[in-house]
Chains A and B, each alone.
Chain A
Amino acid sequence: MVDLARALRAIKRSIWVYHLNSGSCNACDIEVLDALTPYFDVERFGVKLVGSPRHADVILFTGPVTRESLPKVVRALRAMPRPRLLLVLGSCGVGGGIWWDTYATTGGFSKLEEILREQGVEVDRVVYVPGCPVRPEAIIYGILVLLGLAEQKVREVEVHAPGG
């Protein structure tokens, strides 16, 4: 059993991320890279981009999960040690994006999650970061929310239009 709170505490000052692209248009991906560069410099939080999912504490997930990339994505996620913490970036990953219902995609992370469950790959915590593309600050904010260092600002809202 994974003690999530403990695991999150352990990586608070040292967050190694692996970037996993499931067929995105590259815009989110270059923003992930951009977050490393001088103006945003995520290294000041101890964030480091690593080259293997085995070294990763958090996976930065982009793309709508195309049919072709699906098996490889599952495999990369399986290679990641528990706890599996995911930051799902961009409108493709979060909601399937503009191509959410085409023949060539799976429709984003929520569908992938079902397939992962079928395949016995458990995911311990997911934070969704909308954006098209996600700007570097949104990625930073997402990381902080994932670690519990920042408050989530959005809430589900349902308002009735005033009646006549």
Chain B
Amino acid sequence: MTEPVGKLIEELKNLGGKVEEVRGREIYLVASRDSLRSLAKALYSAGAYLKTCAGVDERPIQGVLSVYYIFGLDELGVDVILRVPVTEEDARVPTIVPEVPAADWCELEARDMIGVEITGRPVRRLVLPEDWPEGVYPLRKDFDYSTRPLRGFRSELPEEVGVPLGPYHPALHEPEYFELYVDGEKVVDVVYRGFHVHRGIEKLAESPRFTYKQVPFLAERICGICGFVHSSCYVMAVEKAAGIEVPERAEFIRSIVLEVERLHSHLLWLGVAAHLLGYDAGFMHAWRIREHTMVLAEYLTGSRKTYGINIIGGVRKDLNVDKLDKTLKTLATVREEFVKLAEVMLSVPQIRSRASGTGVLSRFEARALSVVGPVARASGLYRDVRKDYPYFAYREVSFKVPLYTEGDNLARLLVRVEEVLESIEIIKQLIDKLPGGPIAVESWDIPPYRRAVAAIEAPRGEDVHFIITGVGKPYRWRVRAPTYQNIPALRAMLRGAPLADAPLTIASIDPCFSCTDRVVVYDLKTGSRRTLRISGGVPPCPL
């Protein structure tokens, strides 16, 4: 434990935190709800950012409901996890939003899912559908995962969704929407509504249907674009919790596939961004180049998407000379073609003029909102899990983290363009250094009630998985996808900006799948409601 970390822990102890456990780079503290806010404040002023919070029903093991707050201190490379236990009868915790704005969503989610009331802030339902019955909390252990409470079928949409098309957009997208409040042509506020993609994944993983072995396949389906990130993050969390040593070769293979996934994802985004700006040639060419990476992914893993090669303790598919050869060839092609395309795209006048100076997120706001990934890096925040908390084989490679300070849509675009090139270099280095040996451990044992936090740099930013191990399956598995962290930043980007920039700005955070979404526009002056269909925008890597 380094000195600054020790000092911080001392300070936290003085504020009422009790050290429960120190495991590797994770420090677990338990705190009462009275000391929560001062602890959160101290952590935030020490440079921490909130990775996520999670409600856990710990009644069967400790007789309490707990809320976990996971703080990352990226400069020190450690995580501080605060646990606040409350009794079922008096299930209340104070909000930490005034100290830590990034806690907005996860507090509401904990309220929805395990029924802990959050005091001191306005609350609303976030994740569960509006017709979900009161007092039924899916993540409580006494709730059966397959219960489908009677449906008060709403054949009509709520009034504000006045357009008959429902929240659906032309170019692919998920059914989500934002509400934009405008004063004339200026955006005043933004509220995200939706979670149409809530499929009950966290609950399903702890249901009788699943075992540790099967969850990677479930994790991969959290998101069809960055699924491998999720399965990697899950296995990493379990391996960390159980102390399983993964063979080096497996770590390299995982890293290679993660970067291949980043390539496909960034190329996909660039294509969609071009399409949103009416430049379809850019879309077609970006996706043509992307197709090389899709074919490569299938050749390496057996599937174009949802690769299905992650297992606890390693991977299922080895790489041979042919595959490595094909990978290098594909990378050369992609690199050559991508450089040319990027030059062309950036010379299209409409792309330049509509991306620069729009959707600005300042460095200060970026930090306050704990944004991650290209969104953070475009706002001058040097934050990349691959550097801050090196995992798998990323210690073995050198690469540049693109950093821009403008914080506008163009900066986010340029970050991604550079990352494509960096990813290609990373894969080349990994192949160069690929060690021999087995690709998975022979057998493993996972003791129950161990905890671990794992983080991986997804194409959209930091993906966090928190696990409490159980018997044969996770006791609690919390997933925080990067978009979950970035969507609230849209408020800062859109507020005060012209309405016309909203589509691109929403797409610029690469919300899981950038596609079009609907926006409900409230005119505060006249009180009237308009509905605008805009492009870009969609949900957090859905849960």
Contact = CB atoms under 8 A, between A and B. Distances in A.
A67 B175 contact: no
Interface stretch (A3-11, A98-106, A139-147, A153-161): A98-106
Interface string A48-80: 011111000000000110111111111110010
B107 interface: no
Interface in A107-159: 115, 119, 132-133, 135
Given A37-B288, A102-B204, A133-B304, A25 B221 contact: yes
**Chain A: interface size category:** 35 or more
A72 to B, nearest CB: 4
Contacts of B200: 99, 102-105
A89 to B, nearest CB: 11
Contact of A29 (B143, B151, B174): B174
Contacts of A50: 170
Interface stretch (B38-46, B189-197, B316-324, B417-425): B189-197
**Chain B: interface size category:** 35 or more
A68 B225 CA distance: 22
Contact of B224 (A25, A75, A115): A25
Given A26-B225, A26-B513, A33 B203 contact: no
**Of residues B148, B173, B288, which shows the largest number of chain A Cβ atoms within 10 Å of its Cβ?**
B148
Contacts of A115: 153
A98 to B, nearest CB: 6
Contact of A27 (B197, B285, B306): B306
Nearest to B218: A98
B305 A30 contact: yes
A38 B286 CA distance: 10
B199 interface: yes
B281 to A, nearest CB: 11
A70 B164 CA distance: 15
A30 B513 contact: yes
B173 A21 contact: yes
B291 A23 contact: no
A99 B148 contact: no
Interface string B469-495: 000000000000000000000000000
Contacts of B157: 71-72, 75
Interface of A: 18-34, 37-39, 49-53, 63-64, 66-76, 79, 97-99, 101-105, 115, 119, 132-133, 135
Interface of B: 128-129, 131-132, 138, 143, 145-149, 151, 153-157, 164-175, 194-201, 203-204, 207, 209, 217-218, 221-225, 227, 268, 271, 283-285, 287-288, 291, 294, 304-306, 512-513, 515, 542
21 contacts: A19-B171, A22-B196, A23-B174, A23-B199, A25-B223, A29-B513, A30-B224, A32-B172, A34-B287, A37-B283, A49-B171, A53-B165, A53-B168, A63-B197, A66-B129, A66-B196, A68-B195, A69-B175, A101-B145, A102-B201, A104-B199
